[in-house]
Amino acid sequence: MDRARISLLYYLCFNQKRRKIQMKAKKILAGACASVMLAMTTATAVSAAESVKVTVGNAEAKAGGTFSVTLDLADIPAAGINACDFGIEYDASALTITNVTAGALAKDDTASLEGVDAFDANIEDGLVSVIYGLGTTDSANYMTGSGTFLTLEGTVSTTAAAGTYDLKVVAVDRLETPSGTATNADIIFGNLGEDNVTYTVYSPTITDGYVKVIDGEEPSETTEATEAPTGSSEEKPTVDPDKVTMRGDVTCDGEVGLADVAALAKWVAASQLYPLTEAGLANGEITDDSIVDAADLSKLIEFTVKAIKVL
């Protein structure tokens, strides 16, 4: 099974909350759980010949002005869509994306593993990365038909030259595995069957959008931007070896498994958003260097998929 399809299964099965986490950290989290699914899943591919139309809207604004565009889906196959993974690329020197909201087509996640939102987006300079994954196999919650999947809102730089600035649908180049160098190259709109065995990644027909900047200036307005917390970028703390109860048992439930991989992956990605107990952190220190980082996560994954026998 190729890793793009594994990524689809990861978003459906784990559906981790990753809003306001730095892109580097998001790559670690996605790659870690994708590796677990690669080793453990028995899913079977079905035809991906069916397609879905993906259309980004257009907008017109003056330098210093605001804009709003939608990303719409149409001709969704009858089986529906319950997972998406893609990005929207833009020129950050001219445009600033200020908000990304789910449209009416994006259904609420009523049965996710951790009760987090099905829809999540992260705004970086020049890229909006979007994930959508339902933790339920109830097809009544899948996206069907056509409609607005998301809305982008933003501002135009006061120094932006008149012209057209593209809004381009792209693959998010996160790492496929935490210790590897290969990056994802797939735009995913897909469906994992109710049997949790068969899956389909549809072939998207994409129409990119744009923001056209016209001559003239909008009335100036002074606003103060507040930077949202972006997770953990600080140096990882050292751990107390005396707190260890069971190596690898990050959740402190007496077992070592996928739940521990998910918990440690989130902590490595954003420790401030996903704190661990002292014992959980100590249990996650596997490489004997007194800190917990991606190297420990990689070892835990290897143990979970039985690539190594002892932590």
Chain-centre distance of CA 59, in angstroms?
26
Looking at CATH, the fold of the domain delimited by 3-217 is given as: Immunoglobulin-like (2.60.40)
pLDDT at res. 99: 95
Helical pair 294-304 and 258-269, crossing angle rounded to 10 deg: 170
- What pLDDT shows up at residue 176? 60
- pLDDT confidence of residue 196: 57
Give the residues across from 211 on adjacent strands.
Answer: 59, 165
Which ranges in the chain are annotated with CATH 1.10.1330?
A: 241-304
Outline which parts of the chain fall under CATH 2.60.40.680. Answer: 3-217
Please list the alpha-helical segments (H only) found in the chain.
3-13, 23-40, 258-269, 278-283, 294-304
pLDDT in tens, the chain (311 residues): 454 444 444 444 444 333 334 344 444 444 444 444 433 444 455 545 689 999 999 999 999 999 999 999 999 999 898 888 899 999 999 999 999 999 999 865 444 444 456 788 889 889 999 988 775 666 778 899 999 999 999 999 999 999 999 999 999 887 665 566 777 788 889 887 666 556 788 999 999 999 999 985 544 443 343 343 344 444 567 888 889 999 999 999 999 887 888 888 888 877 877 888 999 999 999 999 889 988 888 888 878 767 788 88
Instruction: Confirm if 158 and 220 have CB atoms less than 8 A apart.
Output: yes
- Cβ–Cβ < 8 Å for 9, 43: yes
Q: What are phi and psi of 34, to 5 degrees?
A: -60, -40
| 0.85 surpassed by pTM | no
CATH ID of 241-304, from 1.10.3470, 2.60.40, 1.10.1330, 1.10.3210: 1.10.1330
Please report the beta strands in the chain, taking only residues with DSSP state E, as ranges in sequence order.
44-45, 51-56, 58-63, 66-81, 83-89, 95-102, 119-124, 127-133, 143-156, 163-170, 188-192, 198-201, 203-207, 209-217
